[in-house]
């Protein structure tokens, strides 16, 4: 996750736009006998996190400001500007949390397909560490039944992105618009910082990557689970990938003021999942059933809705104004 807690002020992205071949279907090897069970188990946790993240109350976006990249080799960045009518109040009804206003969809600068991608990116923005912190233990315990090993992996410098997003306050938006055209500002967006993912190694030694927040970089959610070699080839390249250090792990815990919703997610996974029922389902039905269970969980939904995206937090995510 590009994370303000680990990023250095003044850092700017130098990440090239990812170029893909015509064949974009995930290349999952069928040789690993535990692969179907591993992927099904991870799909449950991925769905839990996705449904919980979609229930977090976030700023209603009133404007999207595309920024011209400094060079043609760098991806586009979009600045999300909350609606001025909320006067800096960054807690809104859940029904609006991931829906941009209808007038933006008809913008000359953004087509509907890009709006949908931005909505998905906004839902998972800056949450990769949260996914690992909340679910690492329960994922590890469940996959240990298959003699599989789970590790929290850090990709130094983040992954290659199709686009980046950042958020600012309405009061700063005019300054942003003027300075950004001259490249006189530094931006802390989803293009900056490191990125956290699960690495799963099966009993036969095959390694996989499960990226629970892949959408924040503009990528298709269908590739959230891939063999490690393929994931590195498509999204990492020459960047360093290594296990998180204990210091980094502790820094995340100390800096995270949202622990109640993460603890509620962990508890939900321990107590409210009927694994026998879920593992007997097809993928689509399983995802639908887990989403319903998350949305029906009073404790988890209460904690998700109480997670606040404050003005102070947004000020940490962007600067230059």
The pLDDT of residue 154: 96
Write the pLDDT tens digit of every residue in 27-62: 555 689 999 999 999 999 999 999 999 888 777 777
More confident position, 50 or 257: 50
Q: In the structure, what pLDDT confidence band is assigned to residue 168 with cuts at 50, 70 and 90? A: confident
Fill in the DSSP letter of residue 243. E
Q: Using pLDDT thresholds of 50, 70 and 90, give the confidence band for residue 278.
A: very high
pLDDT more than 70, % of the chain: 70
Residue 132, classified by CB atoms within 10 Å of its CB into exposed (0-12), middle (13-18) or buried (19+), is buried
Q: For residue 193, give the DSSP letter.
A: S
Q: Which residues, in sequence order, are CB contacts of 177 under 8 Å at separation 6+?
A: 65
Q: Is the predicted pLDDT of residue 171 greater than 70, yes or no?
A: no
Percent of the chain past pLDDT 90, that is, above it, reads 45
For 112-142, how does the pLDDT look when each residue is reduced to its tens digit (9 = 90+)? 788 888 888 888 988 999 999 999 999 999 9
Residue 231, CB half-sphere, CA atoms under 13 Å: how many? Answer: 25
Predicted pLDDT at 183: 44
CA distance 136 to 152: 7
- Residue 214: DSSP 8-state: G
Residue 99 CA to residue 77 CA, distance in Å, equals: 19
**What is the model's pLDDT at position 17?**
44
Is the pLDDT at 298 greater than 60? The verdict is yes
pLDDT at 196 over 70: yes
Residues 162 and 219: beta-carbon distance below 8 Å: yes
- Of 58, 68, 70, give the one whose Cα is nearest residue 97: 58
Interval 52-101: pLDDT, tens: 998 887 777 777 888 777 777 788 888 887 766 554 434 433 334 455 66
Collapsed DSSP state (helix, strand, coil) of residue 115: helix
Per-residue pLDDT at 180 exceeds 70: no
pLDDT at 308: 58
Q: If you average pLDDT over every residue of the chain, what do you get?
A: 78
């Amino acid at each position: 996750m590009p994370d303000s807690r680990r990023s250095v002020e003044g850092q700017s992205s130098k990440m090239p736009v990812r170029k893909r071949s015509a064949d974009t279907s995930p290349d999952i090897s069928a040789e690993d006998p535990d692969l179907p069970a591993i992927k099904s188990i991870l799909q449950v946790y991925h769905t839990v996190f996705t449904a919980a993240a979609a229930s977090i109350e976030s700023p209603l976006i009133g404007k999207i400001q595309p920024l011209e990249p400094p060079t043609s080799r760098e991806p586009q960045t979009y600045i999300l500007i909350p609606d001025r009518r909320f006067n800096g109040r960054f807690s809104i009804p859940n029904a609006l949390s991931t829906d941009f206003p209808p007038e933006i969809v008809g913008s000359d600068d953004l087509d509907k397909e890009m709006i949908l991608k931005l909505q998905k990116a906004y839902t998972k923005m800056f949450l990769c560490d949260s996914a690992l912190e909340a679910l690492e233990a329960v994922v590890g315990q469940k996959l240990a039944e298959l003699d599989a090993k789970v590790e929290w992996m850090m990709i130094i410098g983040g992954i290659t992105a199709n686009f980046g997003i950042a958020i600012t306050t309405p009061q700063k938006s005019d300054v942003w618009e003027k300075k950004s055209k001259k490249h006189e500002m530094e931006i802390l967006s989803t293009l900056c910082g490191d990125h956290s993912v699960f690495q799963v190694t099966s009993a036969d030694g095959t390694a996989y990557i499960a990226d629970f927040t892949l959408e924040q970089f503009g990528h298709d959610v269908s590739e959230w689970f891939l063999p490690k070699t393929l994931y590195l080839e498509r999204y990492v390249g020459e960047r360093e990938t290594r296990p998180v250090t204990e210091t980094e792990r502790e820094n995340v815990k100390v800096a995270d003021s949202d622990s109640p919703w993460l603890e509620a997610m962990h508890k939900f996974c321990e107590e409210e999942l009927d694994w026998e029922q879920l593992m007997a389902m097809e993928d689509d039905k399983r995802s639908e059933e887990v989403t319903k269970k998350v949305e029906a969980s009073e404790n988890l939904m209460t904690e998700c809705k109480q997670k606040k995206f404050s003005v102070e937090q947004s000020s940490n995510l962007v600067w230059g104004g």
